[in-house]
């Protein structure tokens, strides 16, 4: 907890679905959903490389399903993002497609599908879940606003309101905190791909009026905010043509914008037996329900696993001193009401479904445009009853 009157600045960024790394995430989750659609027990770990007019799939799959339309699905995903113009250097119709997926190692698989019926963790590692009261969605304000800006960038592009925008873009928001509470937005940075037809001055005016202000107007006086819009002055070459993209290279964008720790594992392209994904989702679910119950104002949950072992090797809860009930009772409630065995997490949240493609851009947490099961507040009443609040 900060001292009384202490202030600090904190920044988080988001990127659009047309950012090269997010294009790769979208393709990887498209592949995952394609398998889960007809084989809920498929084991998938798909990595994607994107560069100038090239998509390369790599990784491991174990499934009874033989997909014959995977290339069509990948091209459709690229087109949906907005890469349909060959002039962008990356185009759904003309890109080269290489599929180097192969069967999952039996050494890994034997730890996941165990003889005793349990599902072992697909790898060792540690995951974090976080929630706080800074926003209605119980997310840190910086990352929440950054996602809203990049989502707005995509919306005005796809609606043709700003038809000179390209698919690639990013936003960064800096918030001033006093006593660990957000007080005002200090700085906004937006960089967006554009066509040759728009001038820098016109672009900056339009982005401020049509993208930034609709998001920030609800924050009262915006006159003191510092704006940096396309600060280099030019961003015509973008997407995978401007910078190679890789799956899992935007893990901080995917989670809490750096405001909470990250275990290091990426999400996209991985089926839910990979605890990198399922346990990160489940700890967010746990943390969000704890905060919504009123027992704490902030919650950070860490869980760690050993490969092939169902029970976590450790669970840690940090409330940053905001708990309203005894911390021992919080641990007891978590143990009684939440099971972090992979099979139990998968079943409770219904994770063996093709629900992952929408998560590949604009964050995995705090979303209002899509109903992810890990954002549910269905344990709040149970927690209140347990705590007597």
Which of 62, 204, 249, 364 is labelled catalytic?
249
pLDDT tens, position by position, 203-247: 999 999 999 999 998 776 788 899 999 999 889 899 999 999 999
Q: Is residue 159 part of a domain?
A: yes
User: What is the sign, positive or negative, of the torsion defined by CA atoms of 62, 304, 343, 27?
Assistant: negative
Query: In the prediction, which pLDDT does 274 show?
Result: 94
Residues 129 and 226 in one domain: no
Same domain for 297 and 370, yes or no, is yes
- CB within 8 A of 239, min separation 6: which ones? 18, 19, 20, 23, 83, 88, 89, 90, 166, 167, 168, 193, 245
372 is catalytic: no
Q: Are residues 281 and 344 in the same domain?
A: yes
Give the pTM.
0.94
192 is a domain residue: yes
- The residue-averaged pLDDT of 47-63 equals 97
161 is catalytic: no
* Same domain for 343 and 362: yes
Of 99, 155, 243, 311, the active-site residue reads: 243
Helix (H) or strand (E) holding 184: strand 181-194
Mean pLDDT of 150-164: 97
Looking at the domain assignment, is residue 359 inside a domain? yes
Q: For residue 291, give its domain range.
A: 125-133+275-387
- pLDDT reading at 176 higher than 80: yes
Nearest alpha carbon to residue 170 among 300, 327, 22, 51: 22
Cα distances (Å, whole numbers) of residue 219 to 42, 211, 222? 45, 14, 7
Q: Of 179, 211, 238, which one is at a domain's C-terminal end?
A: 238
In the block, which residue shows the tokens 């169902």? 310
- Asked if 6 is an active-site residue, the reply is no
Query: Has 205 been annotated as catalytic?
Result: no
Q: Which of 26, 88, 250, 379 is catalytic?
A: 250
pLDDT for residue 120: 74
Please report the pLDDT score of residue 220 as a whole number: 65
Judgement on whether residues 129 and 169 belong to the same structural domain of the protein: no
Annotated catalytic residue 22: yes
Check whether residue 372 and residue 320 sit in a common domain. Answer: yes
Residue at which a domain ends, from 178, 209, 238: 238
Task: Indicate the pairing of strand 54-62 with strand 96-103.
Answer: parallel
Q: In this structure, are 293 and 224 located in the same domain? A: no
Query: Number of structural domains, the chain?
Result: 2
Has residue 149 been placed in a domain? yes
* Residues 129 and 145 placed together within one structural domain of the fold: no
How many percent of the chain have pLDDT more than 70? 95
Domain boundary among 185, 220, 238: 238
Statement to judge: residues 381 and 279 lie in one domain: yes
Domain assignment present for 376: yes
In a domain, 39, yes or no: no
CATH at 166: 3.30.300.10
- Contact 247/25 with Cβ under 8 angstroms? yes
Asked if 274 is an active-site residue, the reply is yes
Determine whether 147 is an active site residue: no
Same domain, 197 and 297: no
C-alpha–C-alpha distance, residues 237 and 229, integer Å: 16
- Please tell me whether residues 327 and 369 are part of one structural domain: yes
266-313 pLDDT, tens digit per residue, is: 999 999 999 999 999 999 999 999 999 999 999 999 999 998 888 999
pLDDT of 103: 86
Average pLDDT over all residues of the chain = 94
The yes-or-no verdict on residue 1 having pLDDT over 50 is: no
Within 8 A by CB and 6+ apart from 252, the residues are 12, 13, 258, 262
pLDDT tens-digit readout, 101-136? 998 766 555 556 555 567 778 778 999 999 999 999
Do 360 and 298 share a structural domain? yes
Select the more confidently predicted residue: 7 or 109. 7
Looking at the domain assignment, is residue 346 inside a domain? yes
Q: Is residue 72 annotated as part of the catalytic site, yes or no?
A: no
The answer to whether residue 66 is catalytic is no
Residue 29 lies in a domain: no
């Amino acid at each position: 907890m900060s001292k009384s009157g202490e202030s600090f600045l904190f920044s988080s960024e988001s990127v659009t679905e047309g950012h090269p790394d997010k294009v790769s995430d979208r393709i990887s989750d498209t592949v995952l959903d394609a398998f889960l659609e007809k084989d809920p027990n498929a084991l998938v770990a798909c990595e994607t490389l994107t560069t100038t007019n090239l998509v390369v799939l790599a990784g491991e799959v174990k499934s009874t399903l033989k997909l014959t339309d995977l290339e069509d699905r990948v091209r459709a995903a690229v087109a949906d993002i907005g890469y349909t113009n060959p002039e962008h250097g990356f185009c759904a119709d003309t890109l080269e497609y290489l599929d180097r997926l192969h069967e999952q190692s039996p050494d890994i698989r034997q730890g996941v599908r165990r003889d005793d019926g349990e599902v072992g963790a697909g790898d060792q590692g540690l995951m974090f879940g976080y929630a706080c009261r800074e926003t209605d969605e119980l997310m840190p304000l910086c990352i929440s606003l950054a996602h809203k800006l990049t989502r707005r960038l995509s919306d005005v592009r796809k609606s043709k309101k700003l038809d000179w925008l390209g698919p690639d873009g990013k936003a960064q928001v800096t918030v001033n905190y006093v006593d660990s509470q957000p007080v005002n937005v200090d700085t906004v940075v937006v960089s967006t791909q554009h066509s040759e037809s728009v001038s820098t001055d016109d672009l900056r005016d339009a982005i401020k009026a049509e993208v930034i202000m609709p998001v920030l107007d609800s924050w009262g006086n915006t006159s003191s905010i510092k704006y940096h819009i396309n600060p280099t002055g030019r961003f015509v070459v973008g997407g995978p043509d401007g910078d190679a993209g890789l799956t899992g290279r935007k893990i901080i964008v995917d989670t809490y914008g750096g405001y909470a720790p990250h275990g290091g594992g990426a999400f996209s392209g991985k089926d839910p037996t990979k605890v990198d994904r399922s346990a990160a989702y489940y700890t967010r679910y746990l943390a969000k329900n704890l905060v919504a119950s009123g027992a704490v104002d902030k919650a950070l949950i860490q869980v760690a696993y050993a490969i092939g072992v169902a029970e976590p090797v450790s669970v840690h809860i940090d409330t940053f001193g905001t708990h309203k009930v005894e911390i021992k009772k919080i641990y007891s409630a978590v143990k009684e009401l939440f099971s972090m065995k992979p099979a139990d997490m998968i079943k409770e949240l219904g994770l063996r479904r093709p629900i992952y493609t929408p998560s590949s851009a604009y964050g995995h947490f705090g979303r209002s445009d899509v109903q992810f099961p890990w954002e549910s507040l269905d344990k709040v009443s149970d927690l209140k009853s347990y705590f007597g609040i």
